[in-house]
């Protein structure tokens, strides 16, 4: 299976040279003809149709997305270095050819810069993909506090539409629950925006079971986004069972624990605290990295015998939990994007899944996932 995927990827590489390179240049050196754009969109559609598709939500609130999405935050925010903008636009424009159609951004990523980047990159094939973005912070800045007042939600949506160069948002999340605004008012505002055609679907992030139930009565949720990885398994105990009960999709952010569950980071890794939250997070302190390394070793041992990387095993495990789970790992590298997407091709046997899960259950993870104001904003 892996060899076939590699051959398919090489074939697609030839296509990059004739069509997608032209598309990639749209926002840099000029415009292609309408015929070229139509051809590129057609090829993108074919790639996504061939990929593994998953469903978020139920009934009229359902959307079909690729089995893996792309978290775009790190392309401009919170991951130490800021990559070259043209390279990120190229990566975003190549991603549909690899079978991806689900992009995640937010006004808070920058703020605003990330939405603008995504909007410029996906403009040539906007109608063929799913864009998720978020509201919920004062001035778009988490450090300034929470704000989900209905007027603020509407203002954020108008700005996001402009930044994303679109007239509708496929999936609009409340980024963090605002305890000062009744969730019924939040859901009601999004319901009105859906009726107006500015938003297609409603989602929440880091919400509790109780809050999700209340919101779902007013406006059914399509997806819940929360941190979920092999370092952060709490959602398995509460919100994932609720999502299954209510027919809500589950979208894990940081499914590789901000890069730690890859084997590329270690206790000596350096971060720029001016544009990275990891230096302040307990799990990234050297002593905790060392204490938690047993999990990396366990995944590596499993992957080595099956031609998989540590990251691929971790992502495949999340996908294996429920058919409505769609992880959104972030990356700034095309090679890592392909690596992540290939994880969806691996299928565990019953014995493999039980054996690996049993080993992981015996590992105690050391260090809290968040601290300070970030921890306060996710308290259920």
Active site residues: 109
CA–CA separation, 137 vs 180, rounded Å? Answer: 12
CA–CA separation, 186 vs 348, rounded Å? Answer: 40
CA–CA separation, 312 vs 300, rounded Å? Answer: 10
CB 287 within 8 A of CB 317: no
Q: 176 CB contacts (<8 Å, ≥6 apart)? A: 136, 137, 142, 146, 205, 206, 377, 378
Indicate the burial class of 37 (C-beta count within 10 angstroms; 0-12, 13-18, 19 or more): middle
Distance of CA 311 to the CA centre of its chain: 15
Read off the DSSP letter of residue 125.
G
**Residue showing tokens 């996001």:** 160
Indicate the burial class of 214 (C-beta count within 10 angstroms; 0-12, 13-18, 19 or more): middle
296 three-class SS: helix
Nearest to 326 by CA among 114, 67, 28, 46: 67
β-pair partners for 309: none
Q: Distance of CA 111 to CAs 13, 72, 149, Å?
A: 34, 13, 19
The residue ranges of DSSP E strands in 145-185, in sequence order, are 169-174
Q: 375 CB contacts (<8 Å, ≥6 apart)? A: 368
């Amino acid at each position: 299976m892996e060899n076939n995927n590699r051959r398919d990827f090489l074939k697609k590489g030839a296509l990059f040279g004739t069509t997608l390179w032209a598309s990639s240049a749209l926002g840099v050196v000029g415009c292609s003809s309408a015929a070229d754009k139509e051809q590129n969109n057609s090829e993108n559609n074919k790639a996504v149709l061939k990929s593994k598709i998953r469903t978020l939500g139920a009934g009229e609130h359902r959307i079909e997305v690729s089995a893996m999405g792309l978290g775009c935050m790190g392309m401009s925010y919170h991951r130490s270095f800021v990559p070259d903008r043209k390279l990120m636009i190229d990566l975003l424009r190549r991603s549909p050819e690899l079978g991806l159609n689900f992009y995640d951004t937010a006004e808070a990523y920058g703020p605003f810069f990330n939405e603008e980047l995504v909007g410029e990159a996906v403009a040539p094939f906007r109608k063929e993909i799913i864009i998720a973005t978020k509201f919920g912070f004062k001035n778009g800045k988490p450090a300034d506090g929470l704000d989900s007042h209905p007027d603020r939600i509407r203002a954020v949506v108008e700005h996001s539409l402009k930044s994303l160069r679109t007239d509708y948002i496929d999936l609009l999340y409340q980024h963090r629950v605002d305890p000062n605004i009744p969730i019924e008012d939040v859901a009601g505002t999004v319901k009105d925006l859906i009726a107006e055609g500015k938003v297609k679907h409603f989602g929440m992030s880091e919400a509790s079971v109780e809050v999700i139930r209340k919101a779902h009565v007013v406006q059914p949720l399509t997806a819940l986004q929360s941190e979920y990885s092999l370092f952060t398994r709490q959602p398995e105990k509460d919100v994932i069972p609720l999502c299954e009960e209510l027919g809500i999709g589950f979208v894990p952010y940081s499914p590789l624990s901000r890069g730690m569950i890859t084997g590329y980071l270690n206790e000596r890794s350096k971060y720029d605290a001016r544009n990275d939250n990891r230096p302040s997070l307990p799990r990234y302190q050297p002593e905790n990295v060392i204490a938690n390394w047993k999990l990396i070793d366990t995944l590596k041992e499993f992957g080595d015998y099956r031609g998989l990387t540590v990251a691929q095993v971790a992502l495949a495990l999340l996908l294996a939990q429920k058919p409505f789970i769609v992880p959104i790992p972030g990356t700034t590298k095309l090679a890592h994007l392909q690596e992540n997407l290939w994880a969806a091709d691996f299928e565990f046997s019953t014995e493999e899944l039980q054996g690996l899960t049993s080993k992981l259950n015996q590992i105690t993870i050391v260090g809290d996932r968040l601290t300070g104001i970030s921890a306060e904003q996710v308290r259920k």
